[in-house]
């Protein structure tokens, strides 16, 4: 269900999960746009030579995925905070799931707190955090 006002938000509600595009082409597009165009993000072999499991999805791109999930759920949401911990790397060309759960609602101000995770196919959490968003009160 698309959220339009704070009255549409339910405590414990799971945001519609989505699978972000972590292909090399898309991560490279992001890296160039962000000014983070380093081989560790855009070249599997170069990343492996640095001791990494492969080219990495930048942590800040994961923040972007999480913010995008919020806007897919509540198009009018005003993101006020995204606070993330990068627990383990996400590797380009692997599949991840972007998830969120509503953990607090202030119906007077419209502020909603959402717990965020990025998980891999094994269900392991790679990134976790919290977002605070403002949802229209009417």
Partner 1 sequence: MPSPDQPLDVEALRAQFLHAVYDEYTFTLDADKLADYAKSCGETATKFTDPNDPDFQAPPTIGSSLQPKQRMPDDFPTFKGLGMDAGKSVAPDKPMRAGVPLTARTHMHDIYTKSGRSGRMVFFVIRMEFSDADDNLLGSADTSIVIREKPQT
The contact set with partner 1 (CB under 8 A) reads 18, 20-21, 26-27, 29-30, 32-36, 59-61, 63-69, 71-72, 75, 79-86, 129
CB-wise, 11 or 19, nearer to partner 1? Answer: 19
The nearest distance, CB 29 to partner 1, in angstroms, is 5
CB-wise, 120 or 130, nearer to partner 1? Answer: 130
CB-wise, 11 or 117, nearer to partner 1? Answer: 117
The nearest distance, CB 78 to partner 1, in angstroms, is 8
Torsion of Cα atoms, 26 then 96 then 34 then 130, to 10°: 150
CB-wise, 63 or 99, nearer to partner 1? Answer: 63
Q: How far is residue 49's CA from residue 102's CA, in Å, rounded to a whole number?
A: 41
The nearest distance, CB 82 to partner 1, in angstroms, is 5
The nearest distance, CB 122 to partner 1, in angstroms, is 22
């Amino acid at each position: 269900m698309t959220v339009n006002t704070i009255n549409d938000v339910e405590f414990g509600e799971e945001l519609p999960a989505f699978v972000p595009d972590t292909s090399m082409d898309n991560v490279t597009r992001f890296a160039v746009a962000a000014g983070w165009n380093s081989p560790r993000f855009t070249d599997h072999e170069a990343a492996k030579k640095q001791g990494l499991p492969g080219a990495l999805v930048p942590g800040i791109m994961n923040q972007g995925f999480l913010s995008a999930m919020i806007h897919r759920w509540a198009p009018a949401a005003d993101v006020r905070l995204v606070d993330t911990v990068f627990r383990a790397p996400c590797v380009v060309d692997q599949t991840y799931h972007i998830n969120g759960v509503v953990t607090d609602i202030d119906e007077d101000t419209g502020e909603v707190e959402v717990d965020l995770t990025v998980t891999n196919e094994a269900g392991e959490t790679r990134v976790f955090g919290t977002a605070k968003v403002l949802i229209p009160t009417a």
